[in-house]
Structure 1
Amino acid sequence: MTFIRSLFVIAAVLLWAGILVLPQFIVLMAMPKHRYTLPQIFHRGLCRLLRVQVEIHGTPAQNKPTLFVINHISWLDIPVVGKAIKGSFVAKQEVAKYPFIGRLSRLQQTIFISRSRPSVKTHKDDMQEHLEQGDNIFLFPEGTSSNGIVIQNFKSAYFALAESHAGDAPLTVQPVTLAYSMMDNLMMTRGTMGIVAWVGDENLLSHVWDFLKSGKITAELRFHKPVTIDQYDSRKDMAADCQRVIAHGLSRAMTGRPEF
């Protein structure tokens, strides 16, 4: 039964994506200011098909543009974040070459960069262009995914974008904790977290297949107090503070505690 349900979900996801591809092409050409509307609808449907319930705590920043800084755990992060807020993801260059996923990512206005420090600076202009258009940007400053329990160090080079300005004011940066806290209404453990967390060189397709055979997932997005670069002495200090705030939120989410 699980096997049949997994096949059904795969077919439904492909059909759902296929239905929205052409309309998104039309929107990008004729109504570009609405370019994030269909991707958000797509992610909402995707979460429903994947049986992922998204809980939002706190308030997403209303300033446009905003740089949302988020810890990275899995491929599942994309629909979870994309369901909650509109904006462009920053992804590694290799994603653009993935069959099917690469095309969908382009349609959502994803910004592709390599993970090297020089490349972050090179692609800063691409990101700046999105900011000047008022687009929010979603950034995973760990540079790779974590195990879902402990986050990895944030790379300060990714915070160069925080030095941008929206008019006369510095760019708003909002730390966001992403946590997969429950499966089938039971708290996640290190053992069950492996079903969601996609780390190392694990094959994507086999990981997705194993996930489809699992239970219902509760994902939490905890939006913390927005900050700006002028509150810090350097990008390094900003990166360290955002990491601390997000790590604290992750610890509380994984133990079922609310934010203070």
Structure 2
Amino acid sequence: MGAVRVLLRLSRLLLVLSLGLLMATVVALGDRSGLKASLGLRQRLSCWFMKRLVGALPFQVRVIGERPKRPMLWVSNHVSWTDIPLLGMLLPLSFLSKAEVRQWPVAGWLAEKAGTLFIRRGGGDSQRLRQQISEQLRQARPLLIFPEGTTTDGCQLRTFHGRLLAGAIDQGVAVQPVAIQYLRDGKADLIAPFIGDDDLVSHLMRLFAQPRGQVCIHLLTPIDSAQKERAALAFQAQQAIHMALFGVEQMPAVPRRQARAA
């Protein structure tokens, strides 16, 4: 029964990926012929594709909270590569992703065509990245980032990097905190996390071999970025997400920039 389940799920996934490749190919051909699709159109196509992709994944999804009606900088905890389609289906938006994703077969090319911004960890390009994020927000294009900088096992939350939120302050754009939570039989899902040296294919096979898990996506109260230090803004978003995930606040801490000024 397990082998049949995996085969059926893989078949459906391959059909959805084929559709995504067809869409991305049409966009690429349009670029070459001078009929370049706008980023807004790419975002809408990506959102449509993400909904189909989520339908091919073994999750029951519950969304708690209201989708924002104006462009914001979305910040979320990061557990798995599946975070991207699960959040990308909610609203037409772009992502900030690690540079390695660009090299992933199929998925990397699709991400690039959808307008993903890629960042090299430790690449020393903070100022250029800040400008890219600011430009996205200045043009009223919603953008989602994972300010932890890496994935976790879903049982913890790492420190948010304030430098990634500087663009929201520059443009006076609110921050939309999002908490994504993977559950299996009422407990933290230990299969969904994509961490360490795991590879995409192996993770996918393990995921497809199991019964459906549950995913709760909490769209939390937006945070005004006006007159805030970036470290304080990141800390506030981190606290809100921690509360949604674990039901308790983290131990109070003073953001670094404020601590130095004390």
Give the TM-score normalised by structure 2.
0.84
Query: CA distance change for structure 1 residues 222 and 117 in 2, over 3 Å: closer, same or farther?
Result: farther
Match of 1:127 in 2: 133
Where 1:229 maps in the other structure, the secondary structure is coil
Could you tell me which residue of structure 2 aligns to residue 102 of structure 1? Answer: 108
**For each residue in 1:24-62, what CA deviation from the matched residue of structure 2 results, as whole angstroms up to 9, or x when unmatched?**
447774551322111111111011111323221111222
The counterpart of 2:243, out of the listed 237, 242, 248, is: 248
Q: Is the 2:21–2:110 Cα contact (8 Å) retained in structure 1?
A: no
Distance between the aligned counterparts of 1:237 and 1:178, measured in 2?
A: 22
Alignment partner of 2:62 out of 31, 55, 66: 55
**Counterpart position of 2:178:** 176
SS at match of 2:132: helix
Task: Say which of 225, 230, 235 aligns to 2:221.
Answer: 225
**Candidates 5, 9, 13, aligned match of 2:8:** 5
TM-superposed CA distance for 1:5, in Å, is 2.2
The match for 2:41 is: 34
Asked if structure 1 preserves the Cα contact closer than 8 Å seen for 2:43 and 2:92, the reply is yes
Q: Distance in 2 between matches of 1:43 and 1:249?
A: 24
In 2, are the aligned partners of 1:73 and 1:147 still within 8 Å (CA)? yes
AA aligned to 2:192 is V
Deviations 1:180-239 (A, max 9, x none): 13x4xx2134xxx2210011122222111111112213222111111122353x211111
Contact 2:73 2:173 (C-alpha < 8 Å) held by counterparts: yes
- Structure 1 runs not aligned, ≥5 long: 254-260
Q: Give matches, 1:107-256, under 5 Å.
A: 107-116=113-122, 118-165=124-171, 170-181=172-183, 183=184, 186-189=185-188, 193-230=189-226, 232=228, 234-252=229-247
Q: Out of 200-209 and 12-21, give the one that drifted further.
A: 12-21
- Separation in 2 of the partners of 1:82 and 1:200? 23
* Amino acid of the structure 1 residue aligned with 2:96: V
Q: Distance in 2 between matches of 1:117 and 1:3?
A: 39
Residues 108-159 of structure 1: per-residue CA shift (max 9 Å, x gap): 1000011237323222222222222221010100000011121111112212
Unaligned stretches of 5+ residues in structure 2: 249-262
Do the aligned partners of residues 117 and 136 (structure 1) sit closer, same or farther apart at CA in structure 2, a change above 3 Å counting?
Answer: same
Report the counterpart of residue 19 of structure 1 in structure 2. 22
C-alpha distance in structure 2 between counterparts of 1:6 and 1:45, whole Å: 13
- The reply to whether residue 88 of structure 1 matches residue 94 of structure 2 is yes
Residue in structure 2 matching 1:75, options 73, 77, 81: 81
Q: 1:62 to 1:27 in 2, by over 3 A?
A: farther
The alignment-based identity, stated in percent, is 26
Kept in 1, the 8 Å contact 2:77–2:157? The answer is yes
Conservation of the 8 A alpha-carbon contact between 1:27 and 1:34: no
Tell me the number of residue pairs that the alignment of Structure 1 and Structure 2 aligns: 241
Contact map agreement 1:12 1:49 (CA 8 A) in 2: no
Q: Secondary structure at the match of 2:140?
A: coil
CA distance in 2, matches of 1:27, 1:137: 24
State the alpha-carbon separation in 2 of the partners of residues 227 and 27 from structure 1.
38
Map of 2:251 onto structure 1: none
Tell me which residue corresponds to 2:260: none
Could you tell me whether the CA contact under 8 Å between 1:9 and 1:50 is conserved in 2? no
